[in-house]
Amino acid sequence: MYDLLITNARLRDGQLVDIGIQGERIAAVAPGLLGEGARTVDARGLLVSPPLIEPHCHLDAVLTEGDAGHNESGTLLEGIQRWSVRKQSLTHEDVKRRAVEGIKWYASQGALYIRSHVDVCDPSFTALKALLEVKEECRDLVDLQLVAFPQEGILSYPQGEELMEEALRLGVDVVGAIPHYEITREMGVESIHIAFRLAEKYDRPIDAHCDETDDDQSRFVEVMAAETLARGMQGRVTASHTTAMHSYSNAYAFKLFGWLKRAEMHIIANPPDNIILQGRFDSYPKRRGMTRVKELLEYGINVAVGHDSVMDPWYPLGTGNMLHAAFLALHIAQMSGYEEVPRVWDLVTENAARVMEVTEDYGIQPGKQADLVLFDAPTDRDALRTLATPLVCVKRGRVISETTAPRVRVFRGGQAEEIRYQQERIRGESG
Ligand code: 17E
Ligand code: FE2
């Protein structure tokens, strides 16, 4: 007798299984009936995936779009400037209300792990204190990690280093940085040294906004790789955005790849924001401004995709649907090859789990945390193509959301025909 039994679930490898859940853990995964569940969900041969993961967002800024005027230039710098105005009126309740709402949007669409940056260039730590509470209070919906993010610089903002260290004492999980925003190249390099010193002292991973610019001279990722190797932090360091890599010469990018791989660094691309923010100083042709996702993967470097923003001063759209971010990544990186499409699914699942260091708990196997999502599509490929409805989301063994798939009927010759946007042969395969 299981607390929750999912029957006829199609795993990503195509296997049809039943999944038995006891408490917060998966107890059994096997083809054919496992027995009884106190509650049963019939997956009807549809895809049951490990949850989507949002490895890079800003929950302190979520749902603030327009509050300090609209970002009309569409640039990163106007976003930072508008945020610096909006953050003066942050309150504990304001941050909590928006962040919890944002988490509900993410979680109900299948993102059950979230890593959020939180701006610590604020001596009162209003956002950080609120998000530390949200992390505990929303434990039923998501595993949430917080990154101490110095939005206005570690060295370019008064007391930036002290604020970073205080954030660590308050309990953030990850150390951030923003070297390309520091006033000088030298300050950028030094800000990375500070971030690594803090990470070592407090035994935390690093996730830095790094080289989020179209300036091909912005080369701070190489400094991160050098520090990672010097301090033996392989596997614990992530460079987010790295959009300048789009503009590097191939010769330099190739050299960099070698060091990223040796340093076992993770790269996070954020296609929704960066396809909006980058290329703004170009005429035509306009650069796409996303980091080299396809080539990094081909080289064997771990890459994940984040959504980054949901309605904030940098990006006015979004609902927290990680399939939107993955869909954009597929297009911008041109990962349309038959074998490439499922690798796009990895970008918002397995690869992001590695970034967040949650692989021990993550996956549909006995003993793992009982987190999973039933999509209204037979395969990951179809779920991406159709931006499939997340029918049922399960977190820590509990059904946390249900969404009804749209029902589409076409009327012809006095008849109603229901269509599902599926190719016949796939429909046939999935029964
Ligand atoms: N802050 C930043 O520096 N870059 C971004 N893309 C966002 C916030 C969303
Ligand atoms: Fe970001």
**What local confidence, expressed as pLDDT, does residue 322 receive?**
99
**What local confidence, expressed as pLDDT, does residue 431 receive?**
43
Which sequence spans correspond to the domains of the chain?
2-50+366-408, 52-361
User: What is the dihedral sign for C-alpha 408, 410, 411, 417?
Assistant: negative
Which residue of the set 54, 152, 182, 212 is catalytic?
212
**What local confidence, expressed as pLDDT, does residue 422 receive?**
87
At 414, is the secondary structure helix, strand, or coil?
coil
The closest alpha carbon to 233, from 270, 254, 202, belongs to 202
Q: Which residues of the chain have pLDDT under 70?
A: 424-431
At 37, is the secondary structure helix, strand, or coil?
strand
Burial of 406 by CB count in 10 Å (0-12 exposed, 13-18 middle, 19+ buried)?
A: exposed
* H-type alpha helices, 278-374: 293-298, 322-332, 340-347, 350-355
Provide residues with CB under 6 Å of ligand 1: 58, 76, 80, 151, 178, 209, 212, 273, 308-309, 314
Of all atoms in ligand 1, which is nearest to the CA of residue 309? 9
At 275, is the secondary structure helix, strand, or coil?
helix
The closest alpha carbon to 242, from 272, 208, 206, 275, belongs to 208
**What local confidence, expressed as pLDDT, does residue 32 receive?**
83
Q: Bin 413: left if φ > 0, else alpha if -120 < ψ < 50, else beta.
A: left
Q: Is 340 a catalytic residue?
A: no
Is 320 in contact with 54 (CB distance < 8 Å)?
Answer: yes
Cα of 314 from ligand 1 centre, angstroms: 7
User: What is the dihedral sign for C-alpha 360, 364, 370, 376?
Assistant: positive
Tell me which H or E stretch contains 306. none
Cα of 273 from ligand 1 centre, angstroms: 8
Residues with a beta carbon under 5 angstroms from ion ligand 2: 308
User: What is 52-361's CATH superfamily?
Assistant: Metal-dependent hydrolases (3.20.20.140)
The closest alpha carbon to 44, from 354, 356, 391, 335, belongs to 391
Tell me the per-residue pLDDT of 232-281, one tens digit each, with 9 for 90 and over: 999 999 999 999 999 999 999 999 999 999 999 999 999 999 999 999 99
- CATH class for domain 2-50+366-408? mainly beta
Cα of 229 from ligand 1 centre, angstroms: 27
Of all atoms in ligand 1, which is nearest to the CA of residue 209? 3
